[in-house]
Amino acid sequence: MAWLRTAELCRYYTRGSQEIRAVDRVDLEIERGEFIVVVGASGSGKSTLLNLAAGLDRPTAGHIEVGGERLDRLSRRELSRYRARKVGMVFQSFNLLPHHTALKNVEMALYFNGTPRRERRAQAHEMLERLGLGDRVDHRPGDLSGGEQQRVAIARALVKRPEMICADEPTGNLDEENSRSIVDLLVELNREDLTVLAVTHDTDMARRAASRILRMHYGRVTSDTSTPESSGGRP
Amino acid sequence: MTLHDLVDLSIGSLWRIKLRAFLTIAGVVIAIATFVAMLSFAAGNQKWVARAYSELGLLTRINVTPKEKSAAAATHSPAGSQRETSSGAAPAGTTKAAVLDEGAVRALARIPGVQLAYPFVEFDVTASVADTQVTTKARALSLEAMRLKPYSTFMNGAVFSSEDAGEAVVTSEFLKQIGLDRGEALIGQNLILSTRVASLDSAMAGVMGTPVVELRNLLRTVRLDSLRYAAYRQGILRRELGNRAGRFLDGLLNHQMTVADTLRIIAVGKKMDEYQVPISPVIVPEETARRFASAGIGLSSDPSDLLTAIQSGSLFSPRGGGDAGTYPRVTLEVEPRASHEAVIDSVEALGFKAFSFASEFKNIQRFFIYYYAGLSVIGLIALATAALGIANTMIMSITERRREIGILKSLGADEREIQLTFLVESGTIGAVGAVIGIGLGWVGTRIVALVMEAVMKREEMPVFDPFSLPVWLILVALLFGVAVSVAAGAYPARRAARVDPVEALRGE
pLDDT digits (tens, 9 = 90+) for B24-55: 999 999 999 999 999 999 999 888 888 888 88
Reply yes or no on whether the pLDDT at B323 is more than 70.
no
DSSP one-letter string for B135-196: EEEEEEE-HHHHTSTTHHHHTTT---SSTT-SEEEE-HHHHHHHT-S--GGGTT-EEEEEEE
Determine contact, residues A128/A136, Cβ cutoff 8 Å. yes
CA distances from residue B274 to B70, B77, B183, B280, B340 in whole angstroms, order as listed = 37, 44, 18, 15, 27
Interface confidence: ipTM more than 0.95: no
Count of residues for chain A? 235
A57/B502 CB distance under 8 A: yes
Reply yes or no on whether the pLDDT at B132 is more than 90.
no
B409/A85 CB distance under 8 A: no
C-alpha span between B497 and B19 (Å, rounded): 25
- pLDDT at position B245, please? 76
In a domain, A115, yes or no: yes
A99/B12 CB distance under 8 A: yes
Res. B321 pLDDT band, cuts 50 70 90: very low
- pLDDT at position B431, please? 93
Residue B364: phi and psi, rounded to 5, are: -65, -40
In DSSP terms, A215 is beta-bridged to A39, A223
CA atoms within a 13 Å half-sphere pointing along the CA-CB vector of B356: 22
Least CB–CB distance from A83: residue in B404, B412, B415: B412
Q: Per-residue pLDDT tens for A94-128?
A: 899 999 999 999 999 999 988 888 899 999 998 89
- pLDDT at position B234, please? 81
Q: b/e per residue, A41-68, with b = 16+ CB within 10 A?
A: eeebbbbbbbbbbbbbbbbbebebbbee
- pLDDT at position B159, please? 75
User: Pick from B94, B59, B111, B88: which is nearest to B346 by CA?
Assistant: B111
Residue B114: phi and psi, rounded to 5, are: -90, 125
Indicate the range of A125-134, B49-58, B147-156, B442-451 predicted with least confidence: B147-156
| CB contact set of B105 (below 8 Å; sequence gap of 6+) | B88, B117, B118, B119, B327, B330
C-alpha span between B370 and B46 (Å, rounded): 12
Which residue of B lies nearest to A13 if distances are taken between CA atoms? Answer: B503
- pLDDT at position B306, please? 63
Q: What is the pLDDT along chain A (235 residues), one digit of tens a residue?
A: 788 999 999 999 888 888 889 999 999 999 988 999 999 888 889 999 999 999 999 999 999 999 888 998 999 999 999 999 999 999 888 899 999 999 999 999 999 988 888 899 999 998 899 888 889 999 999 999 888 998 899 889 888 889 999 999 888 887 888 888 888 888 888 888 889 999 988 787 788 888 899 999 999 999 988 876 554 444 4
B411/A156 CB distance under 8 A: yes
The sign of the torsion formed by the CA atoms of B240, B242, B248, B254 equals negative
In a domain, A41, yes or no: no
- pLDDT at position B148, please? 82
- pLDDT at position B303, please? 62
Residues of A in contact with B411 (CB under 8 A): 83-84, 89, 108-109, 111-112, 156
Mean pLDDT over each residue of chain B, to the nearest integer: 81
In which domain, by residue range, is A110 found? 96-161
- pLDDT at position B85, please? 42
Q: Per-residue pLDDT tens for B382-397?
A: 888 889 989 998 888 8
- pLDDT at position B53, please? 86
The secondary structure element, H or E, covering residue B219 is helix B211-221
Give the three-class secondary structure for A101.
Answer: coil
B53 Cα to chain A: minimum distance (Å): 56
- pLDDT at position B379, please? 83
CA distances from residue A73 to A49, A68, A70, B280, B474 in whole angstroms, order as listed = 17, 12, 6, 87, 49
A76/B508 CB distance under 8 A: no
Determine contact, residues B141/B286, Cβ cutoff 8 Å. yes
In a domain, A146, yes or no: yes
C-alpha span between B125 and B284 (Å, rounded): 12
Res. B63 pLDDT band, cuts 50 70 90: very high
B1 Cα to chain A: minimum distance (Å): 5
C-alpha span between B167 and A150 (Å, rounded): 97
Give the three-class secondary structure for B431.
Answer: helix
The sign of the torsion formed by the CA atoms of A181, A41, A35, A71 equals positive
Determine contact, residues B98/B89, Cβ cutoff 8 Å. yes
C-alpha span between B334 and B60 (Å, rounded): 5
Query: What are all long-range contacts of A220-229, with beta carbons under 8 Å and residues at least 24 apart?
Result: A220/A24, A220/A25, A220/A26, A220/A45, A221/A26, A221/A27, A221/A28, A224/A28
Which residue of A lies nearest to B414 if distances are taken between CA atoms? Answer: A80
In a domain, A120, yes or no: yes
User: Does residue B8 belong to the interface with chain A, where contact is any CB pair within 8 Å?
Assistant: no
C-alpha span between B299 and B325 (Å, rounded): 8
In a domain, A9, yes or no: no
Q: Per-residue pLDDT tens for B464-480?
A: 888 999 999 999 999 99
Determine contact, residues B176/B271, Cβ cutoff 8 Å. no
DSSP state of A19: E
Residues of B in contact with A11 (CB under 8 A): none
Name the interface residues of A facing B (CB cutoff 8 Å): 51, 54, 56-57, 76-77, 80-81, 83-85, 89, 91, 93, 95-97, 99-100, 108-109, 111-113, 117, 156, 160
Determine contact, residues A211/A34, Cβ cutoff 8 Å. yes
Which residue of A lies nearest to B4 if distances are taken between CA atoms? Answer: A117
Secondary-structure percent of chain A, ordered helix, strand, coil, rounded to 5: 35, 30, 35
Least CB–CB distance from A117: residue in B2, B12, B508: B2
| CB contact set of B354 (below 8 Å; sequence gap of 6+) | B62, B63, B64, B332, B343, B344, B347, B348
- pLDDT at position B200, please? 67
In a domain, A219, yes or no: no
Give the three-class secondary structure for B436.
Answer: helix
The sign of the torsion formed by the CA atoms of A87, A88, A89, A95 equals positive
Count of residues for chain B? 508
Residue B143: phi and psi, rounded to 5, are: -60, -40
pLDDT above 70 covers a percentage of chain B that reads 80
What value does the mean pLDDT take over residues B277-287?
Answer: 83
- pLDDT at position A140, please? 94
Query: What is the number of structural domains in chain A?
Result: 1
pLDDT above 90 covers a percentage of chain B that reads 28
User: Pick from A43, A37, A25: which is nearest to A224 by CA?
Assistant: A37
| Sheet architecture: strand order including B330-334 | B114-119, B330-334, B61-66, B352-356
- pLDDT at position A114, please? 86
Which residue of B lies nearest to A96 if distances are taken between CA atoms? Answer: B407
Reply yes or no on whether the pLDDT at B445 is more than 50.
yes
User: Does residue B246 belong to the interface with chain A, where contact is any CB pair within 8 Å?
Assistant: no
Res. B491 pLDDT band, cuts 50 70 90: very high
CA atoms within a 13 Å half-sphere pointing along the CA-CB vector of B49: 17
